């Protein structure tokens, strides 16, 4: 527990929190767009995160405050419309509350995405992760993401399955002209990506970091050419990283169409090498990506309970 965090809560609300919880940041290790297709995603909790403190109220009001926002936002408890402008940051919190009933959780007035169910997989010693955030974002990202979703659903329908997780490479090969060129490419990426997640889990359990690295890079090449959700900037970073002898593999992480690249490296890859890659990127695109070393960490936890 961070004592200063509790003191901030006390200063803002006049009493101690009922409980404090911490949730780690997460990176998508592998499993690009496989989630809404019913497949598995391998994520990794990292050594950066957020703390949340809460306390009950008796007046059916929600009051939200955050370290990075100047004002307290107060809303009526219950269904709240999407916020805009200066209060838009609370949409992250409202979204969590909106999703809770779907998990059988009462709203206070992994990885198999059909489940959900999850299991943990250890990252062997000798490896570390680096994030290179380009801070780029395609202007049409929402529409492009929706288009990929629609294309995958169309591919599943053409293959006679509810979701692409239930389709096989043999199904795809036998589909023939039932799939357009585009939907066939999307289906090929998803089917292969789900298989890559399974192969990555097995390679991690065997401690075969070289195999894991190859799978990560193969994931990116599939996203680049079949799902077509990469960008020139992300491809440049991956191309630059995989030429480094200490880099085991690299891929875009997240939804794509901009954003960040994750690299898995040996322990000999350090800040000097990372900044050299960032400088190469700056010379090509005119801006330097943010570089973030990331160690795996524990998952979410309740850290304390406190009452005045």
Residue range 85-102: average pLDDT?
86
Q: What gap in Å lies between CA 286 and CA 189, rounded to an integer?
A: 32
Predicted local confidence at residue 307, as pLDDT: 54
Q: Is CATH 3.30.230.10 the classification given to domain 3-117+300-305?
A: yes
Residue range 64-87: average pLDDT?
84
Percent of the chain scored above 90 by pLDDT? 55
Predicted local confidence at residue 230, as pLDDT: 96
In this structure, are residues 113 and 196 in contact, taking their beta carbons and an 8 Å threshold? no
What are the sequence ranges of the domains in the chain?
3-117+300-305, 127-294
Predicted local confidence at residue 174, as pLDDT: 95
Give the global pTM. Answer: 0.80
Predicted local confidence at residue 105, as pLDDT: 74
pLDDT tens by residue, 279-297: 999 999 999 999 999 887 7
**At 110, is the pLDDT very low, low, confident or very high (cuts 50, 70, 90)?**
very low
Q: What does the H/E/C string look like for 16-48?
A: CCCEEEEEEEEEEEECCCCCCCCCCCEEEEEEE
pLDDT tens by residue, 130-185: 999 999 987 767 799 999 999 999 999 999 999 999 999 999 999 989 999 999 99
Domain 127-294 in this protein, CATH class: alpha beta
Q: What gap in Å lies between CA 101 and CA 31, rounded to an integer?
A: 26
Rg (the chain; Cα; Å): 22
Does the structure show a pLDDT above 60 at 234?
yes
Q: What gap in Å lies between CA 70 and CA 8, rounded to an integer?
A: 13
Residue range 231-251: average pLDDT?
97
Q: Is 141 left (phi over 0), alpha (psi -120 to 50) or beta?
A: alpha
**At 271, is the pLDDT very low, low, confident or very high (cuts 50, 70, 90)?**
very high
DSSP-derived secondary structure letter, 191 = H
pLDDT tens by residue, 183-219: 999 999 999 999 999 999 999 999 999 999 999 999 9
């Amino acid at each position: 527990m961070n004592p200063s965090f509790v003191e901030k809560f006390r200063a803002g609300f006049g009493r101690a929190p009922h409980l404090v919880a911490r949730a780690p940041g997460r990176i998508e290790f592998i499993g690009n767009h496989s989630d809404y297709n019913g497949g598995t995603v391998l994520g990794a909790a990292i050594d950066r995160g957020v703390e949340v403190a809460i306390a009950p109220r008796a007046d059916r009001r929600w009051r939200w405050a955050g370290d990075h926002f100047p004002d307290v936002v107060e809303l009526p408890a219950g269904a709240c419309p999407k916020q805009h402008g200066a209060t838009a940051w609370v949409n992250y919190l409202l979204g969590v509350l909106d999703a809770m009933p779907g998990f059988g959780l009462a709203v206070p007035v992994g990885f198999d995405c059909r489940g959900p169910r999850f299991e943990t997989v250890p990252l062997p010693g000798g490896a570390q992760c680096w994030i290179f955030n380009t801070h780029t974002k395609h202007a049409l990202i929402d529409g492009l993401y929706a288009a990929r979703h629609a294309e995958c659903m169309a591919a599943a329908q053409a293959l006679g399955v509810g979701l692409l997780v239930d389709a096989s490479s043999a199904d795809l090969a036998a589909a023939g002209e039932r799939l357009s060129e585009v939907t066939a490419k999307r289906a090929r990426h998803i089917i292969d990506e789900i298989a890559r997640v399974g192969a990555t889990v097995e390679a991690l359990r065997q401690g075969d970091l070289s195999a894991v690295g190859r799978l990560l890079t193969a994931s990116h090449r599939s996203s680049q050419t079949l799902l077509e959700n990469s960008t020139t900037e992300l491809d440049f970073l991956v191309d630059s990283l995989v030429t480094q002898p200490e880099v085991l593999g690299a891929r875009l992480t997240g939804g794509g169409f901009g954003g960040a690249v994750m690299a898995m490296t040996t322990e000999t890859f350090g800040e000097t090498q990372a900044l050299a890659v960032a400088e190469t990127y700056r010379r090509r695109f005119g801006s330097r990506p943010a570089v973030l070393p990331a160690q795996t960490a524990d998952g979410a936890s309740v850290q304390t309970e406190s009452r005045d």
